[in-house]
Amino acid sequence: MNIQESYQYAKQVYEKWGINVDEVLETLKRVPISIHCWQGDDITGFEVNASELSGGIDVTGNYPGKARNPEELRQDLEKALSLIPGQHRINLHAIYAETNGEVVERDKLEPKHFEHWVKWAKEHGLGLDFNPTLFSHPKAEDGLTLSHPNPEIREFWVNHCIASRKIGEYFGKELNTPCLTNIWIPDGFKDMPSDRLTPRKRLKESLDQIFAVDVDENYHIDAIESKLFGIGSESFVVGSHEFYYGYALKNNKLCLLDTGHFHPTETVSNKISSMLLYSDKLALHVSRPVRWDSDHVVALDDELREIALEIVRNDALDKVMIGLDFFDASINRVAAWTIGTRNMIKALLYALLTPNDYMKKLQDESKFTERLALIEEFKTYPFGAIWDYYCEQQGVPVRENWLEQIRTYEQEELLKRN
């Protein structure tokens, strides 16, 4: 069977469960994924006086073709986007500012330093999201930023976050789609702390200062991101999940969950429904931890499917803002974007093709045998035929055919970079 014939067969299989496949694909087209720019250059950025990567973040590998400047990074993103179905967003860090060779400290960044990104986003119909960069900097060398005991260092990072929110507001206004500006900090201690409360008080005060500066909520959304531990902060992280979730609820901010930022046996999928009971919206950075927060390329594994199911079955596609956060320099970086983003979209399609209402009914009727049986049977339903058709309709390569374009791009572009 060809793609159209396979699609028609699969469509009949799903429709006997009351699933309107055409409507599913229309819904899927409207779900943007925020694709992180930093996969393309190993979180190097373009600062004139750039510091080495720090803050408990590590990128391993030296695969050829790393983007060396903004033009190459945007070109690589364009290539990845041409292989990914749907219309999406790009997520930037502050270190991706373009300052024309001038040293501009992070607390002095302005919208003008991102004009090229906005122009490019307009040309390609993309939204932009943003993150202040509170790592890889001399003022973060001891692992503390917004919770630092030195008020001058705290003030520097507070001003950087304020500047970042203004840049995010600019993105939203220029692109007519709200920008999510997310604050993550590496603050914590390698060994046992003698005082947990005071650093958290300082962090709270810093956040209060940052959010006291008004930005237009029609164009800008604030988010704060928690973490359990990291390299150099194994024993204590100031911005824990409990800290940020409490702050978000009290101050009407979004809590952002990174799937690699929790205990290895703790799943983000299990948190989504509880948090949506108390929050209108939440945000995700989808990654794949391997024993720790190692940010591997997102795979279509059980947890990714469960995250997508939790979003879909709880009618939360417009409540959960989905972003990605992984970085692998051991493989082709454009391929990494393609694999990870396609997998996130596949997981959402899988969830949309599940008879969620019927599954809920089985649970309410205590028909647990039938529920488990159907959960397992749906794993081998002809989901792939629907995916192939969707890719064809969206004008992107079907199945692994995109790999040939990656190989050509690598030969013609990436291998020419030193």
Q: Which residues are catalytic?
A: 184, 225, 227, 258, 261, 285, 293, 295, 325
Q: How far is the C-alpha of 56 from the C-alpha of 76, rounded, in Å?
A: 26
Q: How far is the C-alpha of 21 from the C-alpha of 24, rounded, in Å?
A: 5
Q: How far is the C-alpha of 293 from the C-alpha of 262, rounded, in Å?
A: 8
Query: Which residue's structure tokens are 């860090």?
Result: 93
Q: How far is the C-alpha of 130 from the C-alpha of 162, rounded, in Å?
A: 12
Which residues are CB-neighbours of 404 under 8 A, at least 6 positions away? 397
Instruction: Check: CB of residue 306 under 8 Å from CB of residue 239.
Output: no
What torsion, rounded to 10 degrees, do the Cα atoms 372, 375, 376, 378 define? 150
Instruction: Check: CB of residue 233 under 8 Å from CB of residue 190.
Output: yes
Residue 116 main-chain phi, psi, to 5 deg: -65, -35
Q: Residue 196 class from Cβ within 10 Å (0-12 exposed, 13-18 middle, 19+ buried)?
A: middle
Which residues are CB-neighbours of 296 under 8 A, at least 6 positions away? 287, 288, 289, 290, 326, 328
Instruction: Check: CB of residue 154 under 8 Å from CB of residue 76.
Output: no
Q: Running DSSP on this structure, what letter comes out for residue 54?
A: -
Paired tokens of 35: 């694709």
